[in-house]
């Protein structure tokens, strides 16, 4: 039996948001402050948060009842829950999803994962709460969802971890994070294509987030088998279930490997890039010396220069690439 729905996300128009706010006020919900939210309210087994971005998140054991009997009929005026595949048939297409974790973290590896999805997985994974790893609240929950994905009968997946030492070597050669990502995505797609005999039906495309301005960055890196499948790159690709599943596996691999590095060097290694990370990097150098820093961290980060007492490289202002001239 599938787990009960405990989380639901959708987008509201301004009119729908005002209607929902009025409904919550007249039905005894308790309001609270939530960062980046226009309003948030809770009652019984339902938590409702509407963010400034226009995204609505409903969580709690009463999620399904709230969506089916309040949100859809009174606010959205349409039935969506349970009809996602009717409204968007692409959800059932056999496909690959590719995503990475660790790109913005000084400590730890860069991990790229790929997952094959077909119609048999969609309902199970959606009901279980598989979604973009950035929307999952804890490493423990990430691990639970990763285990679910790996143990689903018929699931095909691959993870390519690029440890700090290999990452730094690649960066010296390629001199670009996007080129490293392109290689990682291409390698994952190739690894999945090598397992086509396990897939039924065969995938029709591979989907990944567009991390580079030029889509050709990944396309050029594709290997022989990867060139046989359509590559679809788009912003916010994690909204696709296949990419979301890949993000879960990539994050779980990153967290696991970061923890092993922390144990190996007997020093907490924080995630991200922050003042706490700077402090940990300086402490690492103080304990282990300068040379081993490349075994745990990405040396092109400004964090490394600060930890090593070196001049920080000048900041290069970002400029939007100019559009190609029209003929």
- For strand 230-234 and strand 30-32, is the pairing parallel, antiparallel, or unpaired? unpaired
pLDDT value, residue 107:
98
- Using pLDDT thresholds of 50, 70 and 90, give the confidence band for residue 239: confident
Which is more confident, 224 or 316?
Answer: 224
- The whole-number pLDDT of residue 326 equals 37
Chain-wide mean pLDDT for the chain?
88
Q: Which domains does the chain have, with CATH numbers?
A: 7-81 (3.30.310.10), 89-257 (3.30.420.10)
Taking alpha carbons only, the member of 50, 28, 29 closest to residue 39 is 50
CB under 8 Å to 130, separation ≥6 — which residues?
Answer: 145, 148, 149, 241, 244, 245, 248
Confidence of residue 261 (pLDDT cuts 50, 70, 90): very high
Q: Would you state the pLDDT for residue 189?
A: 95
Q: What is the mean pLDDT of residues 275-303?
A: 96
Residue 92's pLDDT is: 61
Question: Which residues, in sequence order, are bridge partners of residue 232?
Answer: 207
Measure the CA dihedral 104/108/109/110, to 10°.
-10
pLDDT of residue 322: 44
Cβ neighbourhood burial of 86 (10 Å; 0-12, 13-18, 19+): exposed
Q: What is the pLDDT of residue 86?
A: 42
Taking residues 115-143, report their average pLDDT: 87
Per residue in 70-117, pLDDT (tens digit) is 888 888 876 554 444 444 545 567 899 999 999 999 999 999 999 999
Select from 142, 125, 88, 103 the least CA-distant residue to 241.
125
Residue 290 reports pLDDT greater than 90:
yes
Give the pLDDT of residue 4: 63
| pLDDT reported for residue 111 | 98
Q: Residue 327 above 70 pLDDT?
A: no
pLDDT at residue 87 in the model? 40
190's enclosing H/E stretch is: helix 177-193
Query: Mind listing the pLDDT tens digit for each residue in 178-224?
Result: 999 999 999 999 999 999 999 988 988 899 988 887 888 888 888 88
Percent of the chain with pLDDT over 70: 91
How confident is the model over 52-58, as a mean pLDDT?
Answer: 92
Alpha-carbon span 303 to 297, nearest angstrom:
9
């Amino acid at each position: 039996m599938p787990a009960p729905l405990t989380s639901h996300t959708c987008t509201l128009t301004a009119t729908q948001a005002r209607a929902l706010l009025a409904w919550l006020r007249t039905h005894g919900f308790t309001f609270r402050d939530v960062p980046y939210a226009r309003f948030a309210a809770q009652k019984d087994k339902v938590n409702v948060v509407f963010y400034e971005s226009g995204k609505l998140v409903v969580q709690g054991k009463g999620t399904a009842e709230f969506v089916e009997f309040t949100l859809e009929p009174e606010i959205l005026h349409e039935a969506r829950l349970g009809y996602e595949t009717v409204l968007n048939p692409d959800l059932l297409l056999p496909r690959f999803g590719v995503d990475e974790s660790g790109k913005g973290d000084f400590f730890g590896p860069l991990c790229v994962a790929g997952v094959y999805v077909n119609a048999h997985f969609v309902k199970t994974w959606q009901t279980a709460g598989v979604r973009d790893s950035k929307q999952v609240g804890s490493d423990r929950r990430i691990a639970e969802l990763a285990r679910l994905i790996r143990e689903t009968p018929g699931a095909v997946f691959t993870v390519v971890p690029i440890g700090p030492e290999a990452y730094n070597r690649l960066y010296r050669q390629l001199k670009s994070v996007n080129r490293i990502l392109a290689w990682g995505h291409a390698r994952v797609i190739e690894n999945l294509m090598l397992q086509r005999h396990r897939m039924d039906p065969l995938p029709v495309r591979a989907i990944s987030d567009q991390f580079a301005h030029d889509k050709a960055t990944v396309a050029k890196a594709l290997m022989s088998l990867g060139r046989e499948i359509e590559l679809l790159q788009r912003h916010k690709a994690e909204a696709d279930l296949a990419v979301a599943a890949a993000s879960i596996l990539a994050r779980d691999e990153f967290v696991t490997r970061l923890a092993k590095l922390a144990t190996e060097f007997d020093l907490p290694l924080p995630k991200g890039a922050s003042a706490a990370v700077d402090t940990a990097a300086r402490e690492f150098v103080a304990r282990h010396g300068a040379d081993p820093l490349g075994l745990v961290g990405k040396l092109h980060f400004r964090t490394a220069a600060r930890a090593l007492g070196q001049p920080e490289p000048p900041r290069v202002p970002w400029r939007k690439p100019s559009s190609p001239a029209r003929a």
